[in-house]
Amino acid sequence: MELRVSNRRAWAGRIVTSLAVAFLLFDSGIKLVRIPPVVDAFGRLGYPVDLAQGIGILELACLAVYLMRPVAIPGAVLMTGFLGGAVATHVRIGDPLFSHILFPTYIAVLLWAGLFLRDRRLQALFATQEAQP
């Protein structure tokens, strides 16, 4: 049984994906140029600011893998791991739950939801077969 992705579902997936991707591109971009809020945030989080560009490059690399269709699922796993590190960092310093600690989780949910809506391979993992009489 071949699962097809409807045109509406595929577009919904692209829109949801684009929301997460836009944020992640912005986030990695500001790390690459090290704007003053990034310098302040790295200090507050307890990370040397010299790591900002490396983290930005790593984020872009994970995002690039996610955006390549043949390896989008492993890319989503990589991005989830990357975002898990952000969650751990915010937990470590005692940031507020919904605005800081869970925010990377919201982005991960958007990444996975967008991928699920536009990728029939992922949908097939969750498809149920009707029982044969």
Q: What is the pLDDT along the chain (133 residues), one digit of tens a residue?
A: 455 678 999 999 999 999 999 999 999 999 999 999 999 999 999 999 999 999 999 999 999 999 999 999 999 999 999 999 999 999 999 999 999 999 999 999 999 999 999 999 898 888 865 544 5
CA angle 37, 42, 46 (to 5 degrees): 150
Q: Does 110 fall in a domain? A: yes
Q: Does 2 fall in a domain? A: no
Alpha-carbon span 28 to 98, nearest angstrom: 22
Structurally, the chain folds into a number of domains equal to: 1
Q: Does 126 fall in a domain? A: no
Residue 34 lies in domain: 7-121
- Phi (first) and psi of residue 35, to 5 degrees: -70, 160
Q: Does 111 fall in a domain? A: yes
What sign has the CA pseudo-torsion 50, 51, 56, 60? positive
Give me the helices (H) in the chain, please: 7-33, 36-45, 52-67, 72-93, 103-118, 120-126
Q: Does 129 fall in a domain? A: no
Q: Does 133 fall in a domain? A: no
